[in-house]
Structure 1
Amino acid sequence: MTAMEQSLENKKIQRRRMMSYFIEAAIGIIEQNGVEGLSLRKVAQAAGYNSATLYHYFKDIEHLSLMACMKYLRNYTLQLAAYPYSSDPLEAFLEIWDIFCENACHYPKEFYTLFFNKHSNELNNTITEYYELFPEELGKQTELISRMLLGQNIYERNRFIMAPIVEAGWLEKEDAELVNEIIIFCFKEILAQKCANPDCMDGDMMKKKTRQIICRLLPVPKKG
C-alpha cells in the first residue's frame, strides 16, 4: 500500500469511527426520549463534540435520525436470514411482509423514520454505509433478500420481492407498479395510525391488516 493509499484508508477509518460515535449517541437519546427527542445539539453534546462537527458526517438531523434508526432493523434482518420461506412466491411475499409488520409494530416511529423520512429515497446509500460500520447486524441473506435490503427506497424493496410473483405469472407486469404503490401507501397509513396511537393495534393486527390489503390486490389462493 502506497503512502497515499494508506492516508486515504486512515481517513476512511477515522470517518467511520466518528460516525459511529454520533450514531451511538443518537441511539442513546432515542432509547430515552424517542425519535422526536433527537436534536443536533443533544447528539453532539452526548458524543462530546460541537454541533458543527456533525455536519462533516451527516447532511442534517433527518439523515442522522435515519442512520440511528437502522439499529431497529437488526432483529428484522436477522429474522429474515433465519426464516424458512415457502417455495410459493405469493406465500413467501406474505411471509416477508409478516416479519416486517411484526418488527414495525415494535418500533413504529423508528420504522416510519426509516422508510418515510425526507431522505428515505436514498435508503440504499444509508444502508450500505451503516452496514459498513456494523456488518454483524446484516446476517447472511439470500440473494433476493440482499437485493431487497439494499433497495433505494421502500418501493424498490417491495418491487424486488414482488418480482418472483410477476415471473411466475401471478401478476401482470403492467399492473405490478400500481399494486406496489397501493401496498406501500396503505402500509404507510397503517404505520402512521400505530405511531399516533400505540395501543390501536398489536403485531398480529398489523400483519392481518397488511395481509388483507395484499390479498385483495394479488391472486393469493385461499387455503382449504
Structure 2
Amino acid sequence: MFSLTNKKIQKSRMWKYFIDATVGIINEEGIKNVTIRKVADRAGYNSATIYNYFSELSHLVFFASMKLLKGYTEDVAKCMDKGKTPLDKYILAWECFCKHSLQKPDIFHAVFIMDLGDQPDELIKRYYEVYPAELINIPEDLKPILIERNMTKRGKSILQSAANEGQINENQIDDLNEITILIWQGMLTNILNNRLDYQLEEAELLIMRYIKQFVDSAKTTNNSVH
C-alpha cells in the first residue's frame, strides 16, 4: 500500500514537472511552438521519459492549457453565482466563457476542440486528480460541469435545469445547446484563422446577441420576453 502511494506521488510530481515546463513554453513562445524536445529540455529529462506519462503531445498541451484556464474557472463560478435562475446562470456562464475564450483562443481550442485521441473526456478528471486544490473554491453544483470536457454535456445540464423549472421548452434543449456551441466555435475559428474584421469586444457582443435571441425563442410562453 505504501509503495503504491509513493508511486502515485512520484507520478503526480513528474506530471507537474512536464506540465509546468509546457506552460512556460506556451507563455513565452505560444502554443504552436510546443514540442516534446523543448518540454523535455526545460524539465531536465529526455524526451522518452515524457512518453512514460503522456501518450501524445496533445495531452501534454491539454493539461498545460487547463492550468492556464484557472482564471476562467474562478471567474465563471463568481459570474454564475449572480444568476437567480438556471437560465440566468446559462447566459452568465456563456458571457464569461466568451470573454475568456476570445482572449485566449489557442488555449480554449486546446481544451475544448482539439483532437485528443481516445477517451478525451477522462483528461479533465485526470487533471483535477493531480490538481485537486483548483476545485476547492468551486461550488459543489458547478464542479460536475467544470470537470466535463464535452461542451454539449456542459450546456445541456444547465438547460435541463431550466426546462425542469419551466423556463424553456424541453423539446428545444438540444437545438438551443447545439446552436449556441456552433456560434461560439465559428467565431473562435475566425479568430484563430485571423479572419475577424472587428474587435474582440464586438465579437463577444455579437455571440451573446445571437445566443440570447435563441434562448428567447426557446422560452415557454410564461417566460417569454414581452
Bin the TM-score by the shorter chain: 0.7 to 0.9
Correspondence for 2:69 = 73
State which drifts further: 181-190 or 79-88.
79-88
Distance 2:193 2:52 in 1: 34
- The match for 2:90 is 93
In the alignment, what sits opposite 2:180? 183
Identify the range of structure 1 (11-20 vs 198-207) with the bigger mean alpha-carbon deviation: 198-207
Residue 119 (structure 1) aligned with residue 126 (structure 2):
no
Deviation at 1:179, TM superposition (A): 1.8
Aligned to 2:26: 30
**Residue of structure 2 equivalent to 1:46:** 42
Instruction: Show CA shifts across 1:106-163 (max 9, x none).
Output: 2111111110011288454222222232233334222332111011411111112222
Q: CA deviation at 1:204?
A: 3.1
Alignment match, 2:58: 62
RMSD over aligned CA atoms reads 2.3
Q: Partner residue of 1:216?
A: 213
DSSP 3-state at the match of 2:55: coil
Separation in 2 of the partners of 1:136 and 1:97?
24
Q: Distance in 2 between matches of 1:42 and 1:26?
A: 8
Question: 1:120·1:153 contact (CA, 8 Å) conserved in 2?
Answer: no
Question: For residues 217 and 32 of structure 1, what CA distance do their matches in structure 2 show?
Answer: 39
Which amino acid counterpart does residue 169 of structure 1 have in structure 2?
G
Q: Percent identity, aligned pairs only?
A: 31
Q: 1:156, 1:207 → 2: CA distance? A: 22
Counterpart of 1:134 in structure 2 is 131
Following superposition, the deviation at residue 202 of structure 1 comes to 4.6
Cα offset, 1:11, TM superposition: 0.6
- Cross-structure match for 1:161: 158
TM-score (norm 2): 0.87
Q: Against the structure 1 CA distance between its residues 128 and 27, is the aligned structure 2 distance closer, same or farther, given a 3 Å change threshold?
A: same
In 1, Cα distance between equivalents of 2:140 and 2:118: 22
Q: Distance in 2 between matches of 1:124 and 1:60?
A: 15
Deviation at 1:94, TM superposition (A): 0.7
TM-score, normalising length: structure 1:
0.88
Secondary structure in structure 2 of the residue aligned to 1:169: coil
Shift in CA distance, 201/119, structure 1 to aligned 2, threshold 3 Å: farther
Residues 133-142 or 97-106, more deviating: 133-142
Q: 1:6 matched to which residue of 2?
A: 2
Write the letter of the residue equivalent to 1:50.
Answer: N
CA distance in 1, matches of 2:120, 2:201: 27
Structure 1: stretches of 5+ with no match in the other structure? none
Number of aligned residue pairs = 220
Residue 174 of structure 1 aligns to a residue whose secondary structure is: helix
CA distance in 2, matches of 1:56, 1:46: 17
For the residue of structure 1 that corresponds to 2:52, the secondary structure is coil
Q: Which residue of 1 aligns with 2:194?
A: 197
